[in-house]
Amino acid sequence: MLRGLPEIVALLAFLTSVAQCAGIPTSNVHAPGTHVALQRRPSPARNTSEWSAWALAQRLSLEAKYAVGANSKHDRRASGTNLISNQNTDSSYFGSIAVGTPPTSYNVILDTGSADLWLASEDARDSLPEDTLTFDPTRSSSYAPLNASFSIAYGSGSAAGVLGRDTVQFAGFEVTDQVFGVVADVSPTLLDTPVSGLLGLAFGGIARSGAQPLWQALLAAGALDAPLLGVHLTRFVNASDARAVAPGGALALGALNASLYAGAVDYQPVPGGARGYWTLEMAGVSVQGSPLDLASDAVALAAIDTGTTLVGGPADVVAQLYAAIPGSAPGTGNYAGYWTYPCATEVHVALRFGASNVSWPVAPADFRLLQADASTCVGAFFALSARSTAGGGSPSWIVGDTFLKNVYTAFRAAPPAVGFAQLSAAALAMNGVSGAPPTPTLNAPEVTASGLASGADRLRVEWFPMLFAGAMAGLRLSGWWWLW
């Protein structure tokens, strides 16, 4: 059984000597399925007026992001992981990238609801929290400016600057010539320490920059084991000792982490195979075990969005949902579009997508957005304003982390589909467990590809690290290696 071991050792020695003689940097090679750590941010202490302002900003931001409502604006292969951080008690989840030469690590929101990468620059300092790390193009020898502006608008603010190109590392991969926004003007409400920007993980067809998203550059290069993104998010909303930043789960690139889900992944196709937002047909919604009538919303596309905290839907369906909860009432002022309900009531909502017969439940703790007073709570499902009449197939449902914390989510690029699976016991055991947040991304990459979208230099893969990985395959142990 071990007869080939001397040959493998000799091959490893040979490859190492080749690397040293050629001046090729060696790297730590990780088994398929390694992950990007996510972190979560627990909610800061807020008074009633601050909570209502936050709720208003959330609703307006979603409507602007998806151009809905009155506020619309508009090979050699491998897999890797980015561990996630959970910020502000499940309010947002971020991971780590490294940019430039030499590389500098930045925390970014990992957002399947958009397709652009952008970082705040030092020119935006006056609008940023004091400790925000900014991108300085003059400190990277590989940065190249582009003669193009960049801007993106949200209901709660905007970000604007210029486009540039540089080397970006993510989840053990490296993309050279990745186009991204270098933001000089950013609304004060958009970023919260320690986040410096946003990494879009949707398809390039919706990129405001017109650039090929980082993950699609790797996919087009044939650098991924499979056309997959796998996401697991932790829950701290009901943890009394939640820290400002806590372990938030993991994003797997090029593979799924089978240790984090149980049973089969229930894939449903993206309607029409559209390559823009990650959308599914919203086929069913139930509350307290009773189904709602979706007939008035015959074309019901749901965007599956890791960059969104809540769940927004058509006003008539959301009104039905709360009508099934005794004592509920529509919100007013900043809470317009939201509903209140008695905190003593445990609300059980479930969602069904596509042609599936599986309904996926939302935990009552996740349905409860916040407690407005001693006995009144605000629900995490809210009504989007009347849908845009501009066309373009905007989704009528935005399904964010309120739902996604309850499932393991698989995003498949080819053929386009989104799948859900039950969380494993190991994944559930991570909920509410405080610990040190993941360390930044500053690792030697396994695979390098070019982010250029056309021409002879469109995609270039550096093969040596994966050749080394191939030699290691004979000695690789079963399981998943975590990058912290």
Phi, psi of 468 (to 5 degrees): -60, -40
Residue 194: asked if its preceding bond is cis (omega within 30°), the reply is yes
Catalytic-role residue among 90, 111, 116, 297: 111
| Alpha-carbon span 116 to 469, nearest angstrom | 31
- Residue 122 CA to chain centroid, in angstroms? 25
Catalytic-role residue among 116, 305, 366, 401: 305
Pair 301, 271: CB distance under 8 Å:
yes
Q: How many angstroms separate the Cα of 126 from the Cα of each of 44, 122, 160, 240? A: 22, 9, 14, 34
Pair 222, 461: CB distance under 8 Å:
yes
| Alpha-carbon span 211 to 477, nearest angstrom | 38
Strand 311-314 relative to strand 381-384, pairing: parallel
Give residues with Cβ within 8 angstroms of 345, minimum separation 6: 325, 326, 327
Pair 74, 165: CB distance under 8 Å:
no
Whether 225 sits among the annotated catalytic residues: the reply is no
Q: How far apart are the first and last CA of the chain?
A: 34
| Alpha-carbon span 320 to 223, nearest angstrom | 46
Give residues with Cβ within 8 angstroms of 229, minimum separation 6: 112, 201, 215, 251, 252, 253, 410, 411
DSSP state at residue 289: T
Give residues with Cβ within 8 angstroms of 32, minimum separation 6: 78, 79, 225, 254, 255
Amino acid at 245: V
Whether 111 sits among the annotated catalytic residues: the reply is yes
Q: Which residues are known to be catalytic?
A: 111, 305
